[in-house]
């Protein structure tokens, strides 16, 4: 009895594998989030098209939808005989569902607003006059981006990266639906924790759950300290 | 008058049992819920009692009961967790019994494909699709699936092709959506569907003994106690068999 409940006083090899998968997923997702999020946020911050609220709403959808909605549609989309699954295999990919790539795709969509919104907020606060002045002095778009936009948007970029990373680490519902719980491939920390609780390995569960709390606290503390203001978003802008 | 006494007693008994109509909350393993709904409907017709059904995985229910969930009766998917609840004092000692034995079936995608030991082996050797099973660590049907694959000497071959669903319902859904090409699921899930399946021989895995136990919370709940007795009655056993489980006579 006791041996079953108190089994694994520390983290096992499988637990460590879950931590590695989680960190790998969060890192890759964050990089893609920045690559995808920067142009979207820049466009949203500068566009005057009437469809802008619609695009903003689409980006923000994962904030309000239950993860099961995304998980459900992704599962249907990833099936080998669906158009998305066919395209993926045509492009040389293995089967999409239950693969690490599937988790990356799901995580990027799921965490997109957490990256786009801080970026958009900081882009909107860039003084346009500065860019115009730089342009009159002959700085091309690339110069402007690297010597003005990037340094001035530092906070937004770090906020977007940290939030995207943290939110991916905290993901559960989507992965439960599309992951297939494969150790070393798609078994992330939150899923491993769920397994441990179901199998009464409370000791192992405590290590994971406690570790996640400390990790998230440190990361959020870092973001707040970096921003120095009370908001996760630069200069008082509240995400709407 | 003396000859009327038994009749009077009978009327009194009926009257008192009507007055004692109880409501019981029954926690059931997800795989058994459709069957339980049918059983509950019959039971509620025959008695004044009312039943509320709660379905989740046996592991989840076990944890909830340990944290004081207000369930009167547990219909688990295994025998291990009811036994443990008994030892821990969360359930009434001696009330535990096997109400159904689960059976394992192989299903495939597309739904009409031919299924037998050879097609399972062929898929694992030359095919590329995934084989969905329930998580062997948490789900009794997952454990049975693993045992069956071991008995068929396919377990090593299946590594790298296995996807472990959260429960047997998700394993079914992985196949149904086409994401897995094969799946080992509960026979109860396919018995009334037009989907092709192969019923695995019972000798290939340890019996999936689904046990019921009266919980401490329900030890005075007449509805729960009556329903336990009802589960062992021939009409109830017929319903359980009809839904794809084996039941001892």
B132 touches chain A (CB under 8 A): yes
Element (H, E) at A157: helix A154-169
Residue B25 exposed, middle or buried by CB count within 10 Å (0-12, 13-18, 19+): buried
Pair (B86, B131) in one structural domain: no
**φ, ψ for residue A169, nearest 5 deg:** -60, -35
Pairing of strands B208-214, B131-134: unpaired
Q: Which of B137, B166, B177 sits opposite A75 (nearest CB)?
A: B177
Q: Tell me what pLDDT residue B242 has.
A: 96
Both ends of chain B: CA-CA distance in Å? 43
d(CA B82, nearest CA chain A) in Å:
13
- β-sheet bridge partners, residue B54: B27
- Total domains, chain B: 2
Q: Which domain holds residue B190?
A: 104-199
Q: Tell me what pLDDT residue A4 has.
A: 40
CA dihedral A91, A95, A99, A101 (to 10 degrees): 20
Q: Which residues of chain A have pLDDT under 70?
A: 1-10, 228-240
Length of chain A: 240
Residues 6+ apart with CB under 8 A from B77: B29, B30, B31, B32, B57, B58, B102, B139, B140, B141, B208, B210
B216 to B52, B75, B239: CA distances (angstroms) = 17, 14, 27
d(CA B20, nearest CA chain A) in Å:
37
B233 touches chain A (CB under 8 A): no
Q: Tell me what pLDDT residue B14 has.
A: 55
In the predicted structure, residue B1 carries a pLDDT above the cut 60 = no
**Ordered alpha helix ranges (H), A125-153:** 128-136, 141-144, 150-152
d(CA B200, nearest CA chain A) in Å:
23
3-state secondary structure chain B: CHHHHHHHHHHHHHHHHHHCCCEEEEEEEHHHHHHHHHHHHHHHHHCCCEEEEEEECHHHHHHHHHCCCCCCEEECCCCHHHHHHHHHCCECCCCCEEEEEECEEEEECCCCCCCCHHHHHHHHHCCCCCEEEECCCCCHHHHHHHHHHHHCCCHHHHCCCEEEECCHHHHHHHHHCCCCCEEEEEHHHHCCCCCCEEECCHHHCCCEEEEEEEEHHHCCCHHHHHHHHHHCCHHHHHHHHHCCCECCC
Alpha carbons A138 and A132: distance in angstroms, whole number: 10
pLDDT band at B6 (very low <50, low <70, confident <90, very high): low
By mean pLDDT, which of B12-26, B157-171, B199-213 is the weakest?
B12-26
Residues 6+ apart with CB under 8 A from A67: A110, A171, A172, A173, A174, A177
Pair (B121, B90) in one structural domain: no
CA A69 to chain centre: 17
Pair (B154, B228) in one structural domain: no
User: Per residue in B47-91, pLDDT tens?
Assistant: 999 999 998 888 889 989 988 899 999 999 999 999 999 999 999
pLDDT band at B166 (very low <50, low <70, confident <90, very high): confident
Alpha carbons B179 and A74: distance in angstroms, whole number: 11
Assign residue B220 the CATH number of its domain: 3.40.190.10
Neighbours of B47 (CB within 10 A): 18
Pair (B223, B234) in one structural domain: yes
Give the residue from B64, B109, B136, B178 with the most A CB atoms within 10 Å of its CB, the best one to mutate.
B178
pLDDT band at B9 (very low <50, low <70, confident <90, very high): low
For helices A52-64 and A100-124, angle between their N-to-C axes, nearest 10 degrees:
130
B213 to A222, A224, B10, B139, B217: CA distances (angstroms) = 50, 51, 30, 18, 11
Q: Tell me what pLDDT residue B7 has.
A: 66
Pair (B32, B149) in one structural domain: no
For the segment(s) A19-186, the CATH number from 3.10.20.600, 3.40.50.1100, 1.20.1050.10, 1.10.3720.10 is 1.10.3720.10
Pair (B122, B67) in one structural domain: no
B19 or B139: whose pLDDT is higher?
Answer: B139
Residues 6+ apart with CB under 8 A from B28: B36, B53, B54, B55, B61, B74, B75
User: Per residue in A52-63, pLDDT tens?
Assistant: 999 999 999 999
Pair (B97, B10) in one structural domain: yes
User: Per residue in B225-235, pLDDT tens?
Assistant: 999 999 999 99
Residue A240 exposed, middle or buried by CB count within 10 Å (0-12, 13-18, 19+): exposed
**φ, ψ for residue A233, nearest 5 deg:** -110, 145
In the predicted structure, residue B180 carries a pLDDT above the cut 80 = yes
User: Per residue in A113-149, pLDDT tens?
Assistant: 999 999 999 999 988 888 888 888 887 778 888 888 8
Q: Which of A119, A101, A112, A129 is nearest to A155 (CA)?
A: A119
Half-sphere exposure of residue A82: CA atoms within 13 angstroms, side-chain side: 15
Q: Is residue B247 part of a domain?
A: no
Put simply, the answer to whether B135 touches A79 (Cβ < 8 Å) is: no
Pair (B141, B87) in one structural domain: no
| Mean pLDDT (whole number) for B16-24 | 70
Q: Tell me what pLDDT residue A8 has.
A: 44
| Chain A residues lying within 8 Å of B173, measured CB to CB | 75
Interface pTM, i.e. ipTM: 0.72
Pair (B186, B220) in one structural domain: no
Collapse the DSSP code of A33 into the 3-class scheme (helix H, G, I; strand E, B; otherwise coil) and give the result: helix
Q: Which of A81, A98, A197 sits opposite B163 (nearest CB)?
A: A98
B60 touches chain A (CB under 8 A): yes
pLDDT band at B11 (very low <50, low <70, confident <90, very high): low
DSSP conformational letter for A146: I
Residues 6+ apart with CB under 8 A from B199: B103, B104, B105, B187
CA B26 to chain centre: 13
Both ends of chain A: CA-CA distance in Å? 51
């Amino acid at each position: 009895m006791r041996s079953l409940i108190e089994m694994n006083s520390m983290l096992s090899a499988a637990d460590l594998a879950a931590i590695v998968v989680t960190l790998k997923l969060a890192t890759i997702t964050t990089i893609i989030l920045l690559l995808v999020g920067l142009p979207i946020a820049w466009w949203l911050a500068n566009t005057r098209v009437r469809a802008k609220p619609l695009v903003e709403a689409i980006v923000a959808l994962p904030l309000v939808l239950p993860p099961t909605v995304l998980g459900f549609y992704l599962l249907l989309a990833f099936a080998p005989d669906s158009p998305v699954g066919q395209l993926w295999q045509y492009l040389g990919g293995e089967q999409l569902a239950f693969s690490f790539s599937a988790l990356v795709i799901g995580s990027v969509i799921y965490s997109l607003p957490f990256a786009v919104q801080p970026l958009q907020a900081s882009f909107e606060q860039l003084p346009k006059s500065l860019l115009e002045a730089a342009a009159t002095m002959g700085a091309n778009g690339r110069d402007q981006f690297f010597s003005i936009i990037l340094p001035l948007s530092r906070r937004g970029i770090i906020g977007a990266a940290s939030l995207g990373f943290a939110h991916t680490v905290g993901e559960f519902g989507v992965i439960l639906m599309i992951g297939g719980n494969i150790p070393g491939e798609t078994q992330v920390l939150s899923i491993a924790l769920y397994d441990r609780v179901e199998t009464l390995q409370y000791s192992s569960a405590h290590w994971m759950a406690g570790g996640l709390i400390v990790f998230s606290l440190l990361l959020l503390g870092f973001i707040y300290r970096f921003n120095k203001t009370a908001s996760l978003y630069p200069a008082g802008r509240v995400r709407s | 008058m003396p000859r009327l006494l038994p009749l009077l007693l009978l009327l009194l008994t009926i009257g008192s049992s009507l007055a004692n109509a109880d409501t019981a909350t029954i926690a059931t393993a997800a795989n058994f819920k459709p069957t339980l709904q049918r059983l509950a409907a019959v039971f509620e017709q025959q008695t004044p009692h009312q039943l509320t059904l709660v379905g989740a995985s046996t592991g989840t229910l076990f944890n909830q009961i340990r944290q004081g969930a207000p369930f009167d009766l547990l219909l688990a998917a295994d025998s291990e967790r009811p036994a443990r609840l008994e030892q821990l004092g969360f359930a009434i000692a001696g009330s535990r019994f096997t109400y159904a034995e689960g059976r394992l079936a192989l299903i495939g995608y597309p739904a009409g494909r031919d299924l037998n030991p050879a097609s399972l082996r062929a898929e694992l050797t030359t095919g590329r699709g995934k084989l969905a099973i329930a998580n062997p660590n948490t789900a009794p049907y997952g454990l049975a699936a693993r045992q069956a694959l071991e008995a068929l000497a396919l377990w090593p071959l299946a590594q790298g092709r296995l996807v472990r669903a959260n429960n047997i319902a998700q394993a079914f859904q992985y196949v149904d959506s086409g994401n897995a090409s094969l799946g080992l699921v509960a026979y109860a899930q396919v018995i009334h569907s037009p989907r092709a399946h192969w019923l695995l021989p019972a000798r290939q895995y340890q019996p999936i003994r689904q046990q019921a136990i009266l919980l401490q919370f329900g030890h005075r709940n007449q509805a729960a106690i009556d329903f336990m007795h009802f589960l062992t009655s021939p009409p109830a056993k017929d319903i359980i068999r009809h839904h794809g489980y084996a039941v001892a006579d």
